[in-house]
Structure 1
């Protein structure tokens, strides 16, 4: 493979002519808005594409927080621990959604930037088929090996019944979750961020409504929380299907384009490999973390970490939304060889992300006990453990925004090797070893203190790669040769 990690896509269309609708097939009826990615002001574009994603992600994150509050207060600390032990498997489902959704959307965005509309349509349809196949396989495997998997993830005998009741139901909705979560990226990639936001809002709002109904009114316990999630995911998935089967979609789902193409699949997997690896690493990390928490702090320590993660995700979700908004802008302009716009988008996204994480750090430093109390059902021991752990966990939080955006930047410009290295640096290179080393010296405090230590080290590594790449792009003002739509074909 070339040193710059770039190879060209097959020339299956007529360049820019395809983008304007002259690709040999009739228009689906919706105006092609992708050209705005290369012409409108970067700040205005980032606002237009990111705000809907941020709103949707915030509502989803708020659902996660409310979900944990309902479980903590309606089921108790053991129910909260059961949901926390199930989290590694939720991350695996997200990992495959990101592998296909983000990888395929990155390829789609770059292809549209190069004017290859037919190729982009093939990417969309191949991605849909992959998501359905993978999600169905995860459901079957998960149901077949549920109990041993939960034990491996750190479930004690007291937590296991709660985790089993929760995950058994969640597995029924994996296919629709995959469609709603994975394919929603392509709605944004087609230049329709408001519709993508609507998908997230529908699922999250419905979930927030159903949670208290099933837990408190119908007395369904932790299983009720799981059913609320599955029903909302199914509705969101059907909403996404409706979009791609209608004339609202620029490309649309078509049986003729669903035949799997080996080259397209390899390119999707290559570009999606970084976020996929990051989520798989996160799943492995959470499994290790749960076991270390069980060893050094017991069930309540796991419950406390579940609360802290919910709060952390509430803060980080706007950054994930910012990334979703920035990705098609960066990818399109990189494909169109407009480096100044690529650099400007990345710099602006990092500034906003850092402001968000700094604000989150301030809130968690000022109100740690009040935050934990909202989840704890008045359990004083859980409040004490959780508030102390929160102080440690968020020490380096202002750095995380930069680290997340910079890692996504390399994925958006078609450099999956760089993106994967930076994505894995925090979790695999630093955090997992620290989870084994620090508790031996500091006990439970070492478990909670491993995260900020890894945040600092990974941010240093990310800064080195990112600023070197930015300097190269600024210097190469004429554009770059061999623009990639496929960053990693086998050698």
Structure 2
């Protein structure tokens, strides 16, 4: 089990590393759900299977976004209350977050029962990809409750002093997903239906592992009879809103990109973007993991009014995010063919489109990590207005505007360049407009020069 951590006294760098590895590992586990499907579907069902899968991916973002809405939102409130030594509301915060995850999961399951065809067409399924999209989404949405609950509980278990157990739950679920993908798709020949079933079973495995935290009585929070408290509910939703928007924006990016690419190059372009989007999911998951690693440190110390430790943790997050962004960009520029070869074989046209896309799209990772970490910093201090505005601009406004302009000017290259331009604009907007954002960045720069 994880040994005890004193968030108020232990060395910030050691705490950061302690939370960084499990947080990144846990988020990678989430993204590997889809990556495993993409690798095996691409090799078993070809470009049309990839296109159908990419049309379905935004629903994964919906699950993750809602799970983080209640998980990060609740865990932030819980950590701040602990920092202030206000322990009487902890069980209520935990219970309400879990309860809201279950209710929303039930709603999504009911939506799937009555509107599955409409969802497939809305997400961009063509006549050629409709049936495969329906097969995948139909199974996936059947497991809505498990997806939401697993994501929410992972955040709480990590904040409850068990980051390694949280990571283990996500990674084991993902590994089993890949194994079942192979069995269901290649051995049982269940196609898209099999890939979705493998993915849907993964969060159930994660929940079983996370439950040991409570069975062994290592928990400092427990599920109690829920009571309506609108103030706590509002704080949970407000604090989780940015994480929700960041995750949902990834789904909106895929959705809007699919629509734009279909108009320019058709289904083969969507197949190319399916590969790029999956690689992007990995990189984005790592950035979000860095942001989640600093969240309990910031929230706890902010509640205790220890601002030096708050700024020290956000500085470490910025350093790691910028370093990782450079690494991701270099890998995309130097090894694009090797990355694409993981997903497809013997399709030269698809290979060339995807390689060109990776070289442009990956520029965005140079700036993405900074945006994610600083948004997490604001969110961890309950700066909900600032973090919400940044997330909305980055995830909705700037992307929609860019996709309306750039493809008309430079074609498919304009689509690939949308992400880099949006991330860069967000950095400048945030530094110029938000004083507390600027303060954190300046603190980090001064530390480098001193």
Q: Deviations over 1:162-182 (max 9, x none)?
A: 110001000111111111111
Match of 1:109 in 2: 79
Tell whether the 8 Å contact from 1:244 to 1:253 is kept in structure 2 after alignment: no
Determine which of 231, 236, 242 is the counterpart of 1:263.
Answer: 231
In 2: Cα distance, 1:92 partner to 1:61 partner: 13
- Structure 1, unpaired ranges of 5+: 1-29, 476-491
Distance 1:285 1:314, change over 3 A: closer
Distance 1:93 1:276, change over 3 A: same
Match of 1:203 in 2: 173
In 2: Cα distance, 1:350 partner to 1:474 partner: 11
Task: Show the 5 A alignment for 1:369-448.
Answer: 369-448=337-416
Is residue 326 from structure 1 mapped to residue 297 from structure 2 by the alignment?
Answer: no
**CA apart distance, 1:74:** 1.1
Distance 1:472 1:54, change over 3 A: closer
Match of 2:145 in 1: 175
**CA apart distance, 1:108:** 0.7
Determine which of 241, 256, 262 is the counterpart of 1:288.
Answer: 256
Task: Show the 5 A alignment for 1:89-488.
Answer: 89-244=59-214, 246-254=216-224, 256=225, 258-465=226-433, 468-469=436-437, 471=439
Match of 2:447 in 1: none
Tell whether the 8 Å contact from 1:37 to 1:45 is kept in structure 2 after alignment: yes
SS in 2 for 1:38: coil
In 2: Cα distance, 1:171 partner to 1:118 partner: 36
Match of 2:28 in 1: 58
Structure showing the higher helix proportion among its residues: 2
Q: Deviations over 1:222-245 (max 9, x none)?
A: 111111111111121233344345
Distance 1:170 1:31, change over 3 A: closer
In 2: Cα distance, 1:51 partner to 1:281 partner: 25
In 2: Cα distance, 1:396 partner to 1:285 partner: 13
In 2: Cα distance, 1:229 partner to 1:31 partner: 28
**CA apart distance, 1:466:** 5.9
Match of 2:9 in 1: 39
Q: Deviations over 1:17-52 (max 9, x none)?
A: xxxxxxxxxxxxx99946x01100110000111112
Taking structure 1 as the reference length, what is the TM-score of the superposition? 0.86
SS in 2 for 1:37: coil
Distance 1:374 1:472, change over 3 A: closer
**CA apart distance, 1:445:** 1.8
Q: Deviations over 1:70-121 (max 9, x none)?
A: 1100111111111100112221122211111110111011111111122111
In 2: Cα distance, 1:56 partner to 1:274 partner: 19
